[in-house]
Amino acid sequence: MTRWMLPAFLAVGVIVTLVLIVGPAVYAVSLSFFDLPSLTSDPVWVGLAKYQAVLASAEFWNALWNGIVYAGLAIVLQVVLGISFALVLHQPFRGRALVRGMAFLPYLLPTVIAVLTFKWMVDGSLGIVTILMDDWGLPPIYWFETEQAAMISVILISVWLWTPFVTTTFLAGLQTVPTQLYEAARVDGAGPVRRFFHVTLPVLRPILTVIVLLRGVWMFNKFDVIWLTTGGGPLGATEHLPILSYRTAFALYDIGTGAAVATISFLFLSLAVFLYFRAFPMEDDA
Amino acid sequence: MTTASRRPLARIGLYLAAIAIALYSAFPIYWMVSSSLRPTQEMLLNPTLVPTELTLQYYYSLLAQTDYPRQFLNSLIVALSTVVLTMFLSVMIAYGVTRQRIRGKKAIIAGMLYAYMFPPLLLAIPLYAMFTKVGLNDTLFSLVISHLTMTMPLGVWFLWGFFKAMPFELEEAAMVDGCTRLGAFLRVVLPLSVPGLVTVAIFAFLLSWTDYTFALVMIGSDVNKTVPLGLASMIGAFDLRWGDIMAGSTLIAMPLFIAFILLSRYFVQGLTAGAVKG
B23 belongs to a structural domain: yes
- Give the minimum alpha-carbon distance from A199 to chain B in angstroms, rounded to a whole number: 14
Average per-residue pLDDT for chain B: 86
Inspect the interface and report whether the beta carbons of A22 and B32 lie closer than 8 Å. Answer: no
**pTM for this one?**
0.90
Query: Same domain for B33 and B171?
Result: no
Q: Find the CATH number of the domain harbouring B119.
A: 1.10.3720.10
B179-182 own/partner pairs: CB under 8 Å, 24+ apart: B180/A1, B180/A2, B181/A2, B181/A5, B181/A6, B182/A1, B182/A2, B182/A5
- Give the minimum alpha-carbon distance from B132 to chain A in angstroms, rounded to a whole number: 7
By mean pLDDT, which of A2-6, A218-222, B116-120, B265-269 is the weakest?
A2-6
B277 belongs to a structural domain: no
Neighboring chain B residues of A101 at a CB cutoff of 8 Å: 260-261, 264
For residue A88, give Cα distances in angstroms to A220, B4, B17.
29, 11, 7
Task: Tell which wins on pLDDT, B4 or A113.
Answer: A113
For residue B273, give Cα distances in angstroms to A169, A182, B174, B277.
8, 25, 29, 11
Query: Same domain for B140 and B34?
Result: no
Query: Same domain for B209 and B117?
Result: yes
Contact B225, B67 (CB under 8 A): yes
Percentage of chain A modeled with pLDDT above 70: 98
Inspect the interface and report whether the beta carbons of B130 and A24 lie closer than 8 Å. Answer: yes
Interface A-B, measured as beta-carbon pairs within 8 A, has a size of 279
B72 belongs to a structural domain: yes
- Give the minimum alpha-carbon distance from A148 to chain B in angstroms, rounded to a whole number: 23
Q: Which residue in chain A is spatially nearest to B99 when comparing CA positions?
A: A6
How many structural domains compose chain B? 2
pLDDT, position B83: 96
Which residues 151-210 of A have a C-beta within 8 angstroms of B? 160, 162-165, 168-169, 172, 182, 192, 210
pLDDT, position B248: 92
Inform me whether the pLDDT recorded for B238 exceeds 80. Answer: no
Query: Same domain for B7 and B122?
Result: no
Domain residue limits at B261: 65-272
Inform me whether the pLDDT recorded for B151 exceeds 80. Answer: yes
User: Binning pLDDT at 50, 70 and 90, where does residue B274 land?
Assistant: low
Q: Domain locations in chain A?
A: 57-279
pLDDT, position A260: 92
Inform me whether the pLDDT recorded for B212 exceeds 90. Answer: yes
B50 belongs to a structural domain: no
Average per-residue pLDDT for chain A: 88
Mean pLDDT in residue range A3-8: 81
Highest average pLDDT, of A179-193, B18-32, B126-140, B161-175, comes from B18-32
Inform me whether the pLDDT recorded for A181 exceeds 90. Answer: no
User: Binning pLDDT at 50, 70 and 90, where does residue A13 land?
Assistant: confident
Q: Which of B93, B126, B231 sits opposite A116 (nearest CB)?
A: B231
Query: Same domain for B238 and B145?
Result: yes
pLDDT, position A286: 38
Query: Same domain for B193 and B125?
Result: yes
Q: Is B254 on the interface with A (CB under 8 A)?
A: no
Q: What is the pLDDT of residues A116-154, one digit of tens each?
A: 999 989 887 788 888 888 888 888 888 888 889 999 999
- Partners of residue A34 on adjacent β-strands: A45
Query: Same domain for B153 and B18?
Result: no
Inform me whether the pLDDT recorded for A179 exceeds 90. Answer: no
Query: Same domain for B208 and B130?
Result: yes
Closest by CA position to B95, among listed B182, B176, B198, B204:
B182
B120 belongs to a structural domain: yes
Q: Is B133 on the interface with A (CB under 8 A)?
A: yes
A103 vs A96: CA distance, rounded Å: 10
A245 vs A265: CA distance, rounded Å: 9
Q: Which of B47, B253, B274 sits opposite A109 (nearest CB)?
A: B253
Which distant-in-sequence residues (6+ apart) come within 8 Å of B237 by Cβ?
none
Q: What is the pLDDT of residues B109-122, one digit of tens each?
A: 778 777 878 888 88
Question: Phi first, then psi: what are they for A45, rounded to 5°?
Answer: -65, 125
Q: Is B26 on the interface with A (CB under 8 A)?
A: yes
Inform me whether the pLDDT recorded for B101 exceeds 80. Answer: no
Question: Phi first, then psi: what are they for A34, rounded to 5°?
Answer: -120, 155
Mean pLDDT in residue range A61-73: 94
pLDDT, position A192: 84
Q: Is A33 on the interface with B (CB under 8 A)?
A: no
B171 belongs to a structural domain: yes
B53 belongs to a structural domain: no
pLDDT, position A178: 86
Neighboring chain B residues of A121 at a CB cutoff of 8 Å: 28, 31
pLDDT, position B275: 56
B143 vs A43: CA distance, rounded Å: 25
Query: Same domain for B72 and B15?
Result: no
User: Binning pLDDT at 50, 70 and 90, where does residue B239 land?
Assistant: low
B55 belongs to a structural domain: no
For residue A104, give Cα distances in angstroms to B16, B192, B228, B263, B274.
18, 28, 20, 13, 15
CB atoms within 10 A of CB B107: 15
Q: Which of A99, A221, A286 sits opposite B21 (nearest CB)?
A: A99
Complex ipTM value:
0.89
Determine the Cα angle at B77 with ends B76 and B81, to 5°: 115
Mean pLDDT in residue range B254-271: 87
pLDDT, position A282: 59
SS3 A34: strand
SS3 A237: coil
pLDDT, position A43: 80
Query: Same domain for B133 and B32?
Result: no
For A57-279, CATH number out of 3.90.79.10, 1.10.287.70, 1.10.3720.10, 3.40.50.850 equals 1.10.3720.10
Q: Which residue in chain A is spatially nearest to B207 when comparing CA positions?
A: A110
Q: What is the pLDDT of residues B12-27, one digit of tens each?
A: 999 999 999 999 999 9
Q: Which of A12, A164, A192 sits opposite B92 (nearest CB)?
A: A12
